[in-house]
Amino acid sequence: MNFIYADTFRYIITNQISSNGYWETTDWNDGTYCLRIRAYDIVSFYKKFVLIDTTKLNVTPYDLHDVQLKNGLHGNHNPVIDTSLHCMNPQGECASCFHHGDERTIEISAYDPDGDPLHYVWWCNYGYFIVGENPVAICTTQENYVVYQAPISFWNQDHLFVDVCDNRGGSAQDDGWVDVFSESYSCICGDINYSGQVELGDPVMLIGYLYKGGPPPYDPIERADVNNNCAVEIGDIVYLISYSYKNGPRVECCWIH
């Protein structure tokens, strides 16, 4: 490749590219460039310097289109996380809190503004990630989800992290806490008064807590976040009453916050 010119028609001499080479654009600005390639076979070009019976190679010209150039590391945009770390299927997997040793599928939603492929690096403080049949403390996946195993020890919280990385050094990070309880501890989503079921006493207790100085919901307090918006407020009362008495949508406490 001999010359490249931008829309200003200012010629830029590139590095010479062999059949196994590459075009070095690390220090170039983002933009649209028109490529002009001068192709020739090296045997014909140097024929006067080589043996007379050397066979000439055929060169086929190709038309090149404008190329959208995304600069190397200097012009790379970091991935964007558009949905925080959460359980993959809240209704199916997160309707009750994490118990010691539980396995849940955790996911993150992200995209790269440059369209680069992404990979995900996961780690946590006390639990594990299941890769194949082996639990590991840190792992890398090409998918945006991973199977997390809650710690089997006495820890009542674990801190999860994920790095979302592109293939040119860009990255973004998200994290979340999970509440982990013993197997005997009941933490049914919406069971605010710890009665073992969702019933009339739950919205009554929540109203008392929010507006009358009453006792807070039993640990974990996320059991009262029935609309799964990461806050315990009036919307949870409305949501809980609708679920219990008006066939409203199912309560969803994700237990990651």
Q: Check residue 203 and give its pLDDT.
A: 92
Confidence label for 35 from pLDDT (cuts 50, 70 and 90): low
User: How are strands ordered across the β-sheet holding 134-136?
Assistant: 80-87, 103-111, 145-149, 128-131, 134-136
pLDDT top residue among 228 and 109: 109
**128-151: average pLDDT:** 92
Range with the lowest mean pLDDT among 41-45, 128-132, 167-171, 234-238? Answer: 41-45
Sequence-ordered list of residues with C-beta below 8 angstroms from that of 46, at least 6 positions apart, any chain: none
116 closest CA partner among 171, 173, 166, 170:
166
Backbone angles phi, psi at 240, to 5 degrees: -65, -40
Tally of CA atoms within 13 A in the half-sphere of 84 that contains its CB: 11
Residue 1 has pLDDT above 70, yes or no: no
- 159-193 burial: b if 16+ Cβ within 10 Å, else e: ebebbbbbebebebebebebbbbeeebebbbbbbb
Tens digit of each residue's pLDDT (9 = 90 or more) over 48-97: 444 444 444 444 444 545 555 444 445 678 899 998 888 775 544 565 67
**195-201: average pLDDT:** 88
Q: Please report the domains of the chain, with CATH numbers, ordered by start residue.
A: 1-75 (no CATH), 99-181 (2.60.40.10), 186-257 (1.10.1330.10)
Residue 160 has pLDDT above 90, yes or no: yes
Confidence label for 28 from pLDDT (cuts 50, 70 and 90): low
90 closest CA partner among 73, 75, 107, 70:
107
